[in-house]
Every structure is written in structure tokens, then in C-alpha cells.
Amino acid sequence: MFAEWIGYSKENKSFCVFKVPNEIGEHKAILRSDYKFKGKNNKITAADISEDGKTVILLNHDKLWRLFDFKGDDFFSGTIKNLSFKHNSQKEGVCFKTASTVLITDERNGTEGGNIYTFSIN
């Protein structure tokens, strides 16, 4: 069995998916796919994959991308939907709560932030 590892770079807006065996030992990561977002404000800060492996979410400060209907582990071969937030903060963490809801955290900046949010992805 293999595990997917999602890598991203805030510096060049690129996003890579690597595959490694899900077992103890020393392994080489295999690059499965990469993707470069177009436009401004697309620096990814966090990512997660749903428990059933059918949805990937990518997070930044003002939006979340939902990747679905992809073939196998080629996450960028399917649909990429942009979901904007109604506020702008330095969001740093994301994980699935349910198949349709994610938890998002943001950094504390003075008296703002430091919160955990729920967000519907459907």
C-alpha cells in the first residue's frame, strides 16, 4: 500500500504530490504530479485529503481549493473548484472534519485571529 504526500511551496506557488510506501523503512518519494497556480494570492499554506481519498483541499489566506473527480492519484486531472472566504486572515491549517466540512485555523495577529473555523466545501 502507498501513501500520498502532498508538498507545496509558498515561494513559487507550485504544488507537488509525492508517493511513498506506507510502511516502515527508508524509501524514495516518487513525484506523481505537479501544478502551478495562475495569478496572484495563490500561496498554499496547508492541504489535506479526505478519508475516502476522493477529495483534496488546498488552503491559503482567502480561499480554499477543492480538487475532486480525479483519476487515481493524479489530483490535478479532475475538477478544481475555488471557494472564497468572506474574510482575510493568515490561515495556516486545514483538515477534514467530515466529507463535506473542514476545520481551518488561522494565526493570531495582535487581537485578531487565533481561531478554529468550520467551512462547508459543498
Residue type, 70: F
Domains in the chain (CATH in brackets) are 2-120 (2.130.10.10)
Most confident of 3-17, 23-37, 39-53, 63-77: 63-77
Predicted confidence band at 101 (pLDDT cuts at 50, 70, 90)? very high
Predicted confidence band at 75 (pLDDT cuts at 50, 70, 90)? confident
Q: Is 80 exceeded by the pLDDT of residue 117?
A: yes
Mean pLDDT, to the nearest integer, of 41-60? 88
What's CA 85's distance to the chain center, in Å?
A: 15
**CA separation (Å) from 41 to 38, 98, 109?**
9, 27, 19
Q: Is 70 exceeded by the pLDDT of residue 9?
A: no
What is the value of pTM for the model shown? 0.80
Predicted confidence band at 1 (pLDDT cuts at 50, 70, 90)? very low
Spatial contact of 48 and 57, defined as CB atoms under 8 Å apart: yes
Predicted confidence band at 61 (pLDDT cuts at 50, 70, 90)? confident
What SS3 state is found at 76? Answer: helix
